């Protein structure tokens, strides 16, 4: 890191992000539905294992996974596929916004979530994640 202190934002509840520990949550709540601010813990041993002057790509992938979980409250989102595009570096000293939305998938038994990260009004990352629809499987066993 280039010496710029990064304040640690509050985390969404770990279960909303599909995590068990607040330390591993990379999303901070916002007043907007399905929008979070990227939460940076520059002391995290996995995401910031070495000094960096920008947000590591692995952290953006984790933000996409957590946003996919958070956009589907009460359901577990276990991605089986991910398509991602890193469009430019995400800087540490400015807010990065993570947005997620459920979109139509190729099959009824799949849930697809599109995630977009923006910084300074520009898209910096996009991702599309697919997961088996656990809700449909559960409904089939209750009939």
Q: What average pLDDT values come out for the chain (143 residues) when binned by 10 residues?
A: 74 95 97 97 88 90 96 83 96 96 89 97 97 58 36
For 48, the domain range is 14-142
Does residue 2 belong to any structural domain of this protein? no
Q: How many CB atoms lie within 10 A of CB 123?
A: 13
Predicted TM-score of the model (pTM): 0.88
Domain count, the chain: 1
Burial label for 94, CB within 10 Å (0-12, 13-18, 19+), is exposed
Place of tokens 């990064």: 6
User: What distance in Å separates the CA atoms of residue 128 and residue 65, rounded to the nearest whole number?
Assistant: 10
Residue 7 domain-assigned (yes or no): no
3 within some domain? no
Q: Identify the CATH number of the domain in which residue 119 sits.
A: 3.10.129.10
**84/7 Cα distance (integer angstroms):** 27
- Closest of 13, 10, 4 to residue 42, by C-alpha: 4
């Amino acid at each position: 890191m280039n010496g710029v202190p990064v304040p640690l934002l509050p985390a969404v509840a770990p279960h909303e992000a599909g995590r068990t520990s607040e330390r591993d949550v990379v999303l901070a709540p916002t007043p907007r539905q399905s929008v979070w601010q990227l939460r940076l813990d520059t002391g995290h041993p996995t995401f910031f294992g070495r000094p960096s002057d920008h947000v590591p790509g692995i952290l953006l992938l984790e933000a996409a996974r957590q946003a996919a979980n958070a956009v589907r409250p009460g359901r577990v989102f276990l991605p089986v596929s991910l398509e991602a595009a890193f469009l430019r570096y995400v800087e540490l000293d400015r807010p990065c916004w993570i947005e997620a939305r459920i979109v139509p998938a190729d099959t009824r038994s799949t849930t697809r979530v599109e995630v977009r990260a923006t910084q300074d009004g520009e898209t910096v990352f996009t991702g599309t994640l697919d997961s088996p629809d656990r809700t449909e499987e559960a409904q089939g066993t209750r009939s």
